[in-house]
Amino acid sequence: MSWQATAWAMRQTTGAARRKLLLLELANYADKDGVCWPSQETLARDTEQSTDSIQRQLDALEELKLLNRTRMPKRRGQWQGHRYQLPLQTDLSPNGQNAAQSRDSRPGQTAIPATTRPQSLRLKPSIEPSYEPSHTNATSNSAERLRAFQRKQEGVEVVQNRIARRIGDDGWLVLGEMNDAQRSHLSTLERQGRLDDETLLTAVLAIRIARSRE
């Protein structure tokens, strides 16, 4: 959850209560760069809407330029989800109003000016130095969070297949001769990206030595 994303979502004009609720929910899942990837089922549950309604509101938010969607890589046995990016850095148009307000204003209607916001609620510039990471680091952090999330969703057979390939031609045979605890330990390390060659070699040698003594 990011207070920057939530504060940004509060300032936007979406034109519909359900749409605004969905935008706030996306902001609730987003990091400080506006990136998140909740499923449509999760968004439907949290906002008490149907998945069809969620899809329509997502389309509308994208048309209003309040949301960018990209397809996440499809994984075996799972639906291909979306990665959402909230444009936190494009809040203001040249005339000082948010872009969604400008698009939603029609002849005969007047957008609510920024000056009507109570003084106590206005965001004030900070005099403290900024410690925010660079855009490159922020992008790298988001990519790492996405990879970590995907690793957690991998099935055991996918993880063990990677281990078997690392072992060699008899990889699956070696894994099959391990007990459940040994396979589980190696699978956990591999899923977390912490299975180094030395740990794997030690486990494989133990199996091969036991095999030679039979």
Q: Where are the domains of the chain?
A: 3-107, 152-213
Q: Which residue has the tokens 């949290």?
A: 46
> Quick one: pLDDT at residue 44?
92
Give me the CATH topology for the region 3-107: Arc Repressor Mutant, subunit A (1.10.10)
Q: How far apart are CA 26 and CA 86, in angstroms?
A: 8
> What average pLDDT does this structure show over 84-101?
61
**Confidence category of residue 97, pLDDT binned at 50, 70, 90:** very low
pLDDT band at 213 (very low <50, low <70, confident <90, very high): confident
Most confidently predicted of 111-120, 142-151, 202-211: 202-211
The pLDDT tens digits of the residues spanning 28-48 come to 999 888 999 888 899 999 999
CB count, 10 Å around CB of 149?
11
Q: Which two tokens stand for residue 201?
A: 């070699």
Global pTM? 0.43
